[in-house]
């Protein structure tokens, strides 16, 4: 299949099956081949530029869907990197599988809770951020909302958590607390 995305750029999409006697089942090869004669800024090229993207898969979707799935792979890698670096789960603590399983399950629970808090913090414009974002990194959620400065105060036989009057993240913290407790 060929489509012209813009002037001077044609993209060929297709799939073929690669069968070998050594394989248990045939493998599908999906390809995307862009061919450029004009750059995106309008510059006409002297020679044709041809690139090839090849995906080996066993999925039976349309080529455009398979390419989209493989492009989302980088997003998955980013989440994996956050789990390892931001929650310090790069090295598991024990040589015993059961212990590491427990640590990893607790880390996944903490990661999912922090991601949920980050998504809730984006639902209203009360967060003091400089740029519009679509998601918050786990490290940012920890630094801005979990490490929020406060002190434990005992007064009239009650123990309370007191926050600073001028904390810029306090309205966001209150909103998230109400959303999660209600």
Question: What is the per-residue pLDDT across 86-144, written as a single tens digit (0 to 9) for each?
Answer: 888 989 889 999 999 999 999 999 999 999 999 999 988 888 887 888 888 899 999 98
pTM reported for the whole predicted model: 0.62
- As given in the structure block, the two tokens for residue 159 are 């123990």
Pairing of strands 44-50, 27-38: antiparallel
Of 154, 147, 9, 137, whose CA–CA distance to 75 is shortest? 137
- Quick: pLDDT tens for 50-92: 999 999 988 889 998 998 888 877 777 888 888 888 888 989 8
d(CA 77, CA 80): 5
Residue 167, classed as helix, strand or coil, is: coil
């Amino acid at each position: 299949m060929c489509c012209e995305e813009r002037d001077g750029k044609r993209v060929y999409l297709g799939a073929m099956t690669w069968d070998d006697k050594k394989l248990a089942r045939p493998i599908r090869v999906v390809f995307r081949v862009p061919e450029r004669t004009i750059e995106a800024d309008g510059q006409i090229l002297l020679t044709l530029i041809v690139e090839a993207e090849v995906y080996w898969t066993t999925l039976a979707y349309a080529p455009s869907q398979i390419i989209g799935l493989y492009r989302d792979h980088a997003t998955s890698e980013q989440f994996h990197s956050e789990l390892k670096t931001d929650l310090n789960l790069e090295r598991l603590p024990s040589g015993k599988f059961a212990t590491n399983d427990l640590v990893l399950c607790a880390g996944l629970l903490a990661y999912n809770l922090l991601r949920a808090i980050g998504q809730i913090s984006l639902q209203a414009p009360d967060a003091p951020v400089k740029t519009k974002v679509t998601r918050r990194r786990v490290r940012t959620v920890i630094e801005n909302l979990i490490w929020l400065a406060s002190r434990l105060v005992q007064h009239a036989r009650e123990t309370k958590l007191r926050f600073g009057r001028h904390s810029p993240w306090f309205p966001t913290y209150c909103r998230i607390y109400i959303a999660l407790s209600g």
